[in-house]
Amino acid sequence: MKMNIRKARENFSEVINRVATKGEMIILISRNKPKAAIVSLKDVMTIEDRSMRKAKRLHQLERIRKMRQKLAQKGLMSNSLEVLKKIREERIEEHSSVD
């Protein structure tokens, strides 16, 4: 929903209640241009959670890239899929021997 900033200010409690209870997102506009948004705390937490997960994935990918560069410099590159397959097989063997 779009709302003029002045109108939102005049009805601030109502705006906050709509966002908090109904989960609405209010786009605040001034001179027919969007300026800001009011969203529920739940939506903010969801956005932050997604951002953190994405940042962690990117960090891990960067670590892998650097590790692969170091291995390549040492001439130790191997087929990643084969290495992963071997690790999985070893884990399966470990778990089956524990049971």
CA dihedral 81, 54, 49, 39 (to 10 degrees): -140
State pLDDT tens for residues 30-62.
Answer: 999 999 999 999 999 998 999 999 999 899 989
- Indicate whether this model's pTM tops 0.75: no
Is residue 3 within 8 Å of residue 27, measured between CB atoms? yes
pLDDT at 73: 81
State pLDDT tens for residues 62-92.
Answer: 988 888 888 878 777 667 777 788 888 888 8
Q: Tell me the CA distances in angstroms from 75 to 10, 30, 69, 84, one per residue in order.
A: 68, 61, 10, 19
